[in-house]
Amino acid sequence: MEVYIDGKFYKKEDAKISVFDHGLLYGDGLFEGIRVYDNCIFKLDAHLERIEYSAKAIALELPWTREEIARAHVEACRRNGVANGYIRSVITRGVGDLGLNPHTCAKPSLIVIADKIALYPAEVYEKGIRLITVPTRRMSVAALPPMVKSLNYLNNILAKIEALNCGFDECLLLNDQGNVAECSGDNIFIVHKGKLITPMPSSSLLMGITRAATMECARELGIPVVETTLTRYDVWNADEAFLTGSAAEVIPVVELDGRKIGAGKCGPITAKLLELFRKKVRTDGVMIA
């Protein structure tokens, strides 16, 4: 495997950054997780737009054009023969002095890793997953906006640890108001009386690319979409629920906090959305070959 760092490709064992990079010292930087399906980098443009918005939010001036960043992604896939897989891109603040001040960092670094992805077992998409609400709250938009896909993932990792300690693979996080935010690495949707409902951005969540793609699918299928405030009560009483994420795609949720959701298996609207989503992924993006 060869990893892209700042314009060059390095063998995996030689792909290294400085211990003085503020990405490591302070978590000062950004990342993306992008899927590749049959030579198509799914929604690459949307991911690059999210990087630009995240960079603006943390006052990190990108020294590359969108086209340059896109080319690095395409090249990383080609070099590594990744036709189906996963791209992890990282932008760090760069090498600087000790101390928080980002102005001591000369220039940001761009890292692009194209690799295989461990797929979820097929049965997860039929049988669904069980969730538990954890005590850790999703951080407030007034602290560090969760829309920023930053290198600070401890909020999510603490929630994940709590879920794993209870024997669950994924968890629900509430925001500081006690309303539903998202999961540790996925967005959440419910279906109620024929409508698709998901927490609105100000509920403290990452604006997932899969979330947006799923809402697009729903609109194409004529399913009404609502972004609003949701409580755990709404999820417990939903007809269907599911998670979305680049790795997860669309995964049914069959239980939250010991309450069975709907029929306790993948619901009909979830199944329809997953079917259309899987049709789109091979064409809706940037082609490698």
**Hey, which residues are catalytic here?**
149
- Of 217-256, binders to ligand PXG (CB under 6 A) are 244-247
- Min dist. Cβ of residue 155 to ligand PXG (A): 9
What angle, 0 to 180 degrees and rounded to 10, lies between the N-to-C axes of helices 66-79 and 44-57? 130
- Of 63-82, binders to ligand PXG (CB under 6 A) are none
Residue of 71, 84, 67, 49 whose CA lies nearest to 281 = 84
The binder of ligand PXG chosen from 211, 267, 281, 285 (CB under 6 A) = 211
Residues 121, 126, 127, 128, Cα dihedral to 10°? 80
Q: What tokens does 234 get?
A: 């709404």
Q: What tokens does 236 get?
A: 């417990």
- Specify the residue, 73 or 211, whose C-beta has the smaller distance to ligand PXG: 211
Could you give the residue ranges of the DSSP H alpha helices within 39-153? Answer: 44-57, 66-79, 122-127
Size of the site for ligand PXG (CB under 6 A): 15
- Min dist. Cβ of residue 216 to ligand PXG (A): 12
Q: Does 209 help bind ligand PXG (rule: CB under 6 A)?
A: yes
Which of the stretches 6-14, 66-74, 159-167, 201-209 binds ligand PXG when contact is defined by CB under 6 A?
Answer: 201-209
- Specify the residue, 246 or 270, whose C-beta has the smaller distance to ligand PXG: 246
Q: Contact letters (x/-) for ligand PXG, 98-117, by CB under 6 A?
A: --------------------
- Specify the residue, 109 or 156, whose C-beta has the smaller distance to ligand PXG: 156
Distance CA 27, CA 92 (A): 8
Using the CB atoms, write b or e for 153-192: b if 16+ within 10 Å. Answer: eebbebbbebbeeeebebbbbbbeeebbbbbbbbbbbbbb
Q: Contact letters (x/-) for ligand PXG, 16-45, by CB under 6 A?
A: -----------------x------------
Residue of 86, 273, 282 whose CA lies nearest to 198 = 273
- Of 165-194, binders to ligand PXG (CB under 6 A) are 182, 185-187
Distance CA 239, CA 247 (A): 24
- Specify the residue, 98 or 143, whose C-beta has the smaller distance to ligand PXG: 143
Residues that bind ligand PXG (CB under 6 A): 33, 156, 182, 185-187, 206, 208-211, 244-247
